[in-house]
Amino acid sequence: MLALGQDEIAKYPFLADAGQYLKEQGFTLEQFGTDPDLIPLIEKAYNRIYAACEGDPQSYKSDIIENQASNTASLPREVFSFLLSIVLLKLTGIPTLAKRFALNEAMRAEAFLEKDLKNISTDSNELPIKIIEDLFSIKVKKHNDFFVISVSDYIKHSIHFHEREWKLINRHVEDGFVFLTPHQTVRLVRKELGTFITSKILTGKKPSMISGFEKFVNNLISYSKKFSISIVDSGEYPPCIKHAIEILEKGENLPHSGRFMLATFLLSKGRLVQQIAPLFKNAPDYNEKTTLYQLNHLAGTSGSGTQYSCPSCEKLKTQNLCFIIPECNNIISPLQFGKKKN
Amino acid sequence: MNENDVKFIEDSFKKYYFNHFELIHVPERTAEREFGFQKFNSGMTRHISIKDDKELHLLLMKNIPSDVYCSNAYYSFPNLPMNEKDWKEADLIFDIDAKDLNLNCRSNHTVSICNDCKTISNKQIQWKKCNSTKLEEKSLTCKNCIEKSKLEVKKLFEILIEDFAIDKNDIHIYFSGNEGFHVYVYNSQFQKLGSRERSELADYILFNGVIPETFGMKKFKPNRALFPNFDERGWRGRFAKDVFDSKSKRSKIISELITNGYSSFQKKLEDVSTRIGVKIDPNVTMDIHRIFRLPGSINSKSGLTKIYCKNITKFDPFLEASFLNEDTIEIIADCPIEFKLKNKKFGPYDNEKVTVPTYAAAYMICKKLASIS
Ligand code: SF4
Ligand SMILES: [Zn+2]
């Protein structure tokens, strides 16, 4: 673990060891559920989760302002609200909430990380560089205004992006390294940062209920219904389809081409428009009416009457939607996945 | 291929393997590789593991394969089925083939063989005789094909060294044995990359998926200062050299590009791509489980050897890759295109009985343009 200062913990609370932190501050979890002075902190944590899941981080009142803690007393509050969020999510045990929360925390940390990265000198021992190195095993070096990382490390992460600007060809490459701005550097690890935070929540046993936490946990459980996507059993789906579903589950933006692929795929598998529509409800720009209209159009139940077919693997490759694995085994359409024998 | 042809080719391959084992490079870390081979008129045998040169030699003499392959990947258990092999890493490989280069010369030396009526034609005309659709194309590679492929190899070589910092001693170039070149990269930072990552590398080398912004062009308010300079490294530098031609024209051409606008710039990029992009076959590069033709083995599409190129500029496959023996043999040749091997001219032959050296006979028989009489 990295040695952290107080306001560094507040910015990057996921780096702290929860149990140890509480002990150092002289608290136990039980106290938070019972001590009337501490209950507001659970409320703060609840809000933190709620704001994250709504995709509306502004509605959460952070005590960190302008990259600095507003005052010394507020620092532990910031850390506590994060640690308590984790506890609440663990008690709730719903992966969708965990993932949405983690993504939002990752984006929050990303903003701090970017600012910190901009301010470093050339010392590779500084915290932001250490974080990237320790958490994601990417070696970063500062080079004038840029940060350079090896081509292979870059591609390992960049292939998860859909935007063309992330393709290696659109980067400055020299002597085996890719040159990135601070913004690009931290953006590159957002997904992994999210995964790292998710794993903090989802690994380990589900703890037993702590008195005083029930109300919040129950609220979260009923709140989470909003996000449940039940129709899709993606067990035998090809990686491209699974990946698209994953993005939607996390409430991230799936490009139009991805939605087209997913919808046509599921329609071909015999799913009904009414079953597919809920998949898109987590999308940032969801609108029920337009979604149904578009799906009906693809299904051929409206408009021209022709059903659109699922794009070929080749096409999906050019759209960066293909996540080929050996099991894809030379098929030409995702619809063939799992049908062809080795 | 009929039985007599197979017997003749197998005999000549066998002599080659017996006399030239020193040409067959057993790859390093042999025991971690998967080997495979094919025999004439039969399927592929793969998932073989081999210990050393001796075992390989034995396999060649025992089976007299038409083609021999070896994985670019390293496995813990190369002889187990694919999902139990335990993939460790793989050398980076590239395939450059003249048939993918859209060369004008192709039509001059490509023939169509009708698998129904056995007619051979070098005209791109509708098949009149039997209206068959089972046409097979065979090309007798020409000098131009080879020279143009070499240019691609050189472009690739430059990118590997300049952009990816590969040590030039870790880059090995082989003539593929037919119409192109195979390039291997060892010990690079890419050894452990999976298929998707390698496909991204391939796109980089192909100049695929590029956006105008990378070269300074923007949809709104383009800024001259963002356009590349001559001495820049990587694609921006190569773009500058191709598009601006000379330093003095840079300023004028940037003005033109800005005036013509964003979508015209996109078209320009496609056009540039055909010149500066390296025409590798992306499917080969992204395949991390492939068994790739073994260096030193014979390519049954031609009877020529997949041979190491010490000096790519001077390399002449028609001289340096033909190793079959000189013994003469009588064949019936229907080969409408003249070709040159070992400094000797052959053909064209119009369905006639001719006596030629084994290496030339094998070349035509492998191309399905001749048969033992
Ligand atoms: S190969 Fe086809 S099925 Fe497999 S991930 Fe790519 S697009 Fe999907
Ligand atoms: Zn040619």
Q: Are A130 and A159 in contact (CB under 8 A)?
A: no
A284 has pLDDT over 70? no
B126 has pLDDT over 60? no
DSSP structure string for A273-310: HHHHGGGGGGSTT--HHHHHHHHHHHHTSSTT-PPPPP
A155 to B233: CB separation less than 8 angstroms, yes or no = no
Which ligand does the CA of B103 lie closest to? Answer: 2
Instruction: Label residue B352 by pLDDT band (50, 70, 90).
Output: very high
B193 to A152: CB separation less than 8 angstroms, yes or no = yes
Architecture of the structural domain at B3-100+142-204+281-372? Alpha-Beta Complex (3.90)
pLDDT of residue A248: 83
pLDDT of residue A123: 58
**Nearest atom in ligand 1 to A238's CA:** 3
The domain spans of chain A are: 6-123+182-223, 229-336
pLDDT digits (tens, 9 = 90+) for B154-184: 999 999 999 999 999 999 999 999 999 999 9
Report how far ligand 2's centroid is from the alpha carbon of B309 (Å).
20
Mutate to test the pocket of ligand 1, among A320, A324, A329, A339 (most ligand atoms within 8 A of CB): A324
- Output the six-digit token pair for A226: 């909003």
Torsion sign (Cα): A69, A70, A76, A79: negative
CA distance B253 to chain A (A): 21
A152 to B192: CB separation less than 8 angstroms, yes or no = yes
pLDDT of residue B312: 96
A100 has pLDDT over 80? yes
Instruction: Label residue B136 by pLDDT band (50, 70, 90).
Output: confident
A67 has pLDDT over 80? no
What are the φ and ψ backbone dihedral angles of A172, each rounded to 5 degrees?
-80, 115
Proportion of chain A above pLDDT 70, given as a percent: 88
To probe the interface with A, which of B46, B197, B235, B280 has the most A CB atoms within 10 Å? Answer: B197
pLDDT of residue A3: 66
CA distance B235 to chain A (A): 8
**ipTM over cut 0.85:** yes
Q: Give the bridge partners for B92, in sequence order.
A: B185
Residue B334 bears catalytic tag: no
Buried b (16+ CB within 10 A) or exposed e, B326-341: eeebebebbbbbebbb
Residues of chain B with CATH 3.90.920.10: 3-100+142-204+281-372
Q: Token pair 């229907």 is at which residue?
A: B334
Q: Token pair 């959460």 is at which residue?
A: A60
Closest partner residue to B165 (CB to CB) among A176, A317, A326 is A176
Instruction: Label residue B91 by pLDDT band (50, 70, 90).
Output: very high
The single residue of B5, B95, B287, B334 carrying the catalytic annotation is B95
What are the φ and ψ backbone dihedral angles of A132, each rounded to 5 degrees?
-65, -40
| A325 vs B contacts (CB less than 8 Å) | 195
What are the φ and ψ backbone dihedral angles of B221, each rounded to 5 degrees?
45, 60
Mutate to test the pocket of ligand 1, among A246, A262, A331, A335 (most ligand atoms within 8 A of CB): A331
pLDDT of residue B210: 95
pLDDT digits (tens, 9 = 90+) for B243-285: 998 889 999 999 999 999 999 999 999 999 999 999 999 999 9
The DSSP code for A178 is E
Closest partner residue to A159 (CB to CB) among B165, B197, B204 is B197
A170 to B234: CB separation less than 8 angstroms, yes or no = no
| A156 vs B contacts (CB less than 8 Å) | 193, 197
B102 has pLDDT over 80? yes
Q: Which residue intervals of chain A are DSSP H helices?
A: 6-11, 18-25, 29-34, 39-54, 74-92, 95-119, 127-136, 151-158, 182-188, 190-202, 214-224, 239-249, 256-268, 273-276, 288-299, 313-318
Report how far ligand 2's centroid is from the alpha carbon of A266 (Å).
47
C-alpha gyration radius of chain A? 22
- Ligand 1: lining residues by beta carbon, under 6 Å: A 238-240, 313, 316, 322-324, 328, 331, 334, 337
